[in-house]
Structure 1
Amino acid sequence: MQQDKIILAIVDDHPMVIEGLKSLLKSETAIYTSVSFTKGREFISFLSQNEVNLVFLDISLPDANGIELCKEIKKISPKTIVLGLSNQTERSMMLQMLQSGASGYLLKNVSPDELLTCIQEALHGLITFSREAKEIMGRPSKAGLNEVASVTKREKQILQLLAQGKTTAAIATELFLSPLTVDTHRKNLLQKFEVKNTAELLMAAVHQKLL
């Protein structure tokens, strides 16, 4: 095995899901190499002894809760990127994964192109979602967007776009702003909600019924 390959782990208790993901990655074997586990504890044991660059983590495992497991993974190996992988479509579940240290969330109906795009985005430090997960994250709540007076209309727009996993550059293009302006808005939001990062910001925004 080449040392410069990206090591991907798949933690899922459904063999068909594991085989499906491996099949999607088959055309990229020059770049990625994969290992798989059907139980969370097995993966934790492996991670304690081996480097893993990125892990696809099922939310529901027979021996562990994926959200708690995500926290444990980040404690053992802070550099390991975690992407939630599930059929569960609740926005609250996605946000709990992000708050636990995940870099994104994919639904199991992810297409090959989406999968590879999400891997690349995550490896470049972005929060990433599969297309359907992105749509769920971007839907306004029934409570509307006027619950918190201290957040401006522009900041609400930026919150929604961040929830869709969009980058500063993409938000800037969509809103006809400079990347510096978008970044300033994002930093202001972090200060207003007294949070440290985008994942915590999104969770706080949900609690305030802004998302």
Structure 2
Amino acid sequence: MTKVFIIDDHPMVVEGIKGLLQGEEHYPVVGSAHYALEALEAFRQDMPDVVLLDINLPDLNGIELCERIKKEFPAIKVLGISTFKERSYITRLMEKGASGYVLKNVDKEELIEAIRQVARGRMYFSMEASTAITTQRSSAQVPVLTSREKEILVLISEGLTNKEIADQLYISPLTVDSHRKNLLAKFTVRNTAALVKLGIEHGLIAL
């Protein structure tokens, strides 16, 4: 029996995966979490065998969480499951110790096969993920952002000030300023104009 745990901040996604695995007695879903820290606390109580991990989480991104999981719970196998199929996301997740990567459009049979393979200590990549890894991309790597950083990036692109963003998100202007500085650092740019330009180029800001 392989105990499965789901980490995804979208309840519908979690319920969808649970539905796919329902009735699979060899792959019971023993828990789920919408937040990274919530998941880590759950593992301290009951450690699963395989974690299905989304890249985009509200508190930590999936790549940072994968690193923490492998450091604190090295026996847990991590299988990335996301809508992102950029090579940079996949390779960085692998560098942090993940055993595989599939997209969220995966069907039941392939999801079960992916879980089976990583539980056995093997690597598994869906076809699209495998293609992304082997295809060399000339563009710069896409920075990994938290949900909050993405939210703030979009509001910055709309020309809102730190105070206006803070009022809209019910957080302090100092917190907004901290996120803004983190965004500049992650994109390695010095000003808002360059930040917005790269956000558009990477598809993080819709035109």
TM (normalized to structure 2)?
0.63
Q: Deviations over 1:166-191 (max 9, x none)?
A: xxxxxxxxxxxxxxxxxxxxxxxxxx
List per-residue Cα deviations over 1:145-198 (Å, max 9, x = no partner): xxxxxxxxxxxxxxxxxxxxxxxxxxxxxxxxxxxxxxxxxxxxxxxxxxxxxx
- Contact (CA 8 Å) 1:39, 1:63: kept in 2 or not? yes
1:58 matched to 2:48: no
1:21-170 equivalences in 2 (<5 Å)? 21-28=17-24, 30-34=25-29, 35-141=31-137
The 8 Å contact of residues 52 and 79 in structure 2, kept in 1 or not, is answered as yes
Q: What is the count of residue pairs matched by the alignment?
A: 138
Displacement of 1:7:
1.0
Letter in structure 2 aligned against 1:32:
Y
Q: Distance in 2 between matches of 1:142 and 1:92?
A: 11
What displacement does 1:58 show?
A: 0.8
Match of 1:125, SS state, is coil
| Per-residue Cα deviation, 1:132-154 (whole angstroms, up to 9, x for no partner) | 212222335569xxxxxxxxxxx
Match of 1:16 in 2: 12
Once superposed, which parts of structure 1, at least 4 consecutive aligned residues long, lie more than 6 Å away?
none
Q: Secondary structure at the match of 1:110?
A: coil
Point out the more displaced range, 120-129 or 91-100. 120-129
| Superposition deviation, residue 54 in structure 1 | 0.4
The answer on whether the counterparts of 1:115 and 1:130 sit within 8 Å (CA) in structure 2 is: no
Give yes or no for contact 2:2–2:49 (8 Å, CA) kept in 1. Answer: yes
Between the aligned partners of 2:136 and 2:63, the Cα distance in structure 1 is: 24
Question: TM-score by structure 1 length?
Answer: 0.62
Q: Percent identity?
A: 42
Cα distance in 2, alignment partners of residues 142 and 65 from structure 1: 24
5+ residue gaps, structure 1, are 144-211
C-alpha separation between the residues in 1 aligned to 2:134 and 2:70?
26
What SS is found at the alignment partner of 1:94?
helix
Contact 2:22 2:28 in 1 (8 A): no
Calculate the aligned-residue CA RMSD, in Å.
Answer: 1.6
Alpha-carbon contact 1:70-1:82 (below 8 Å) kept: yes
1:50 corresponds to which letter in structure 2? D
TM superposition shift of 1:120: 1.1
What displacement does 1:27 show? 3.2
Distance in 2 (CA, whole Å) between partners of 1:124 and 1:33 is 16
- The 3-state SS of whatever aligns with 2:42 is helix
Contact 1:55-1:81 within 8 A present in 2 as well: yes
Shift in alpha-carbon separation, 1:25–1:141, aligned structure 2, 3 A: same
| Distance in structure 2 (CA, Å) of the matches to 1:63 and 1:129 | 26
Aligned residue type for 1:84: G
